[in-house]
Chains A and B, each alone.
Chain A
Amino acid sequence: MSKYLLNKFLFTVDRDPDLVERYRTDPVGTVQWWEAGEANRILNCISQEQSTWLRFEEAERAALAAHDYPKLFELGAHPFLTLTLFIAMFERDYPEPLGFQKDYAARLAHFAQPYPDIAT
């Protein structure tokens, strides 16, 4: 499990307006591009000092590439990161205020407590 890397993807995409749009329109390509070139970047270090070992597991890569936020919840991605980014991408598609947020809750309705562990 690489919950940290899932969170790192959500975190770094969410804070970049261009990446938010790119992930919305091309999730497969964005995940592939990000894992190849961004996953090992230490955010506070220069590029020559990047990590060498970070990669997604198949289920994680597939969940991100499918915009499958219930699966991300199941995998233990941080719920705040997932929610914030997915609101940015999909709230606009719902005519009613909070329509996406309520649909999001409904799609997670099968989860009972305790929820998946989010500790990294």
Chain B
Amino acid sequence: MATVCAVIASTHHPFYYRASTATGGARPPFADEWVAKIEKFRETLTRARPDVLVMVGSDHFHQLWLDNMPQFLVGKAPVYDANFYNEEREFGLPRLLLNGHEDLSAHVLRNGLDAGFDLAFSNELRIDHSITCPIITLRPEADLPIVPIYTNIFAPPLPQPKRFVELGQAIRHIIAAWPEDLRVAVIGTGHLSLELGGPRQFGEHGPDPHFDRRAVDWIATGALESCLSEVTLDSLHAPGNATHGFMDFMLMMGVAGENAKADYVDTLDLFHTMEAYFTWYPTGGVA
């Protein structure tokens, strides 16, 4: 049977690639600390020795559009091209090519549907920085097959926060029931408080440091009950107009499990947003 060897939740900051590769006067003052934190975080995945990566993210109006918007979508393709023109233009992100794991995609789709999640699917999916950022930070070799899972945190009406948690819980069970003897890491990225295209964007810190501290505590301690009692689709507007991306963190809390204390927690207070990195080892170790 498959082993969920690591559960990883992270912010996805599209500026990391450019900051970490910049040299001389172009290198921002926070780059060295950021790179050091990322390299430590990367080690938590490397140590788990994954064979396959299930990657949860959200398309930012790249391939998925308002004429046909899925709430939850699983990629099922042998190969995924990655990153788009406007991500190259604004963030300097490189184009990537990632192999897919079609058998695990099929297993997630079949069992997700049977568990009551009417998952959309795509046989030709170009993935964006919500998934390529964690490839760049956590597995820059880009050598493992992936199963991309997209959520809609972007185009209202959105699913309820509880539904994200439930999908995460289902994903955990579905992977654990996969009959292949492979090690699967589940990696999901979202946001803490974030404002994009609004008056609180690009400040000295994230738009709501208080929310960020609460959020990090919820995630680090697996406090699903407390988190679900306070977080609603309406409440997420207050910390910043793009904070609904926090629901992908809630999905990852569902994957990790109720009251699951993270084995690794780190944060970095940057301009515009707080970075946050979490790793759980569900089997109690990485042996």
Q: Assuming the A-B contacts A44-B67, A84-B90, are A119 and B201 also in contact, with contact meaning beta carbons closer than 8 angstroms in the complex?
A: no
Interface assignment of A37: CB less than 8 Å from any CB of chain B: no
Do the beta carbons of B199 and A109 come within 8 Å of each other? yes
Q: Does B197 contact A (CB under 8 A)?
A: yes
CA gap between A25 and B155 in the complex, in Å: 30
B23 to chain A, nearest CB (A): 16
With an 8 A cutoff between CB atoms, is A101 at the interface? yes
**CB of A104 within 8 A of chain B?**
yes
Known: A43-B67, A79-B197, A88-B89. A118 touches B156 (CB 8 A): yes
Q: What residue of chain A has the Cβ atom nearest to residue B68's Cβ?
A: A44
Contacts of A81 in B (CB 8 A): 61, 197
Cβ contacts under 8 Å, B197 to chain A:
73, 78-83, 104
B202 touches A105 (CB 8 A): yes
Query: A73 to B238, alpha carbons, bound, how many Å?
Result: 17
The residue on B at minimum CB distance from A110 is: B199
A48 at the interface (CB under 8 A from B): no
Asked if A108 is an interface residue, CB under 8 A from chain B, the answer is yes
B213 to chain A, nearest CB (A): 20
Report Cα–Cα, A72/B238, bound state, in Å.
20
One of A8, A15, A87, A98 near B66 (C-beta < 8 A): A8
Kindly supply a per-residue 1/0 record for chain B positions 124-146, scoring 1 wherever the CB is within 8 Å of any chain A CB and 0 otherwise.
00000000000000000000000
Q: Place the interface of chain A in its size category.
A: 35 or more
Q: Mask for A76-114, Cβ within 8 A of B = 1, else 0?
A: 001111111001100000000010011011101111011
- Decide: A80 near B242, CB < 8 A? Known: A4-B66, A11-B65, A87-B90: yes
Chain A residues numbered 11-30 whose CB sits less than 8 Å from any CB in chain B:
11, 14-15, 17
Give every chain A residue within 8 A of B198 (Cβ-Cβ): 73, 79, 105, 108, 111, 115
Instruction: With both chains docked as a complex, state the minimum distance between the C-beta of B30 and any C-beta of chain A, in angstroms.
Output: 12
**In the bound complex, CA of A101 to CA of B85 (Å):** 20
CB pair B196 A79 closer than 8 Å: yes
Q: How far is the CA of A101 from the CA of B68 in the complex (A)?
A: 30
Question: Is there contact, CB below 8 Å, between A80 and B196?
Answer: yes
Within 8 A of A (CB), among B165-216: 196-203
- CB neighbours (8 Å) of B89 from chain A are 17, 88
- A120 surroundings in chain B (CB, below 8 A): 66, 155-156
Q: Are B202 and A102 in contact (CB under 8 A)?
A: yes
Distance, CA A24 to CA B238, complexed state (A)? 33
Whether B85 lies near A105 (C-beta < 8 A) is no
Shortest CB-to-CB span from A5 to chain B, Å, is 10
Contacts of A42 in B (CB 8 A): 67
Check: B47 CB closer than 8 A to any chain A CB. no
Which single residue of chain B is at the shortest CB-CB distance from A80? B196
**Distance in Å: Cβ of B241 to nearest Cβ of chain A:** 6
Q: Check if B202 sits within 8 Å of A78, measured CB to CB.
A: no
**Contact indicator A11/B61 (Cβ below 8 Å):** yes
User: When the two chains form their complex, are residues A7 and B66 in contact, meaning their CB atoms are under 8 A apart?
Assistant: yes
Closest A residue by C-beta to B28: A97
**From B90, which residue of chain A is reached at the shortest CB distance?**
A87
Q: Which of B85, B86, B199, B237 contacts A114 (CB 8 A)?
A: B237
Determine if B157 is an interface residue (Cβ-Cβ < 8 Å): yes
Known: A83-B196, A113-B237. A119 touches B156 (CB 8 A): yes
Closest approach, in angstroms, between the C-beta of A43 and any C-beta of chain B?
6
Shortest Cβ distance from A103 into chain B, in angstroms? 10
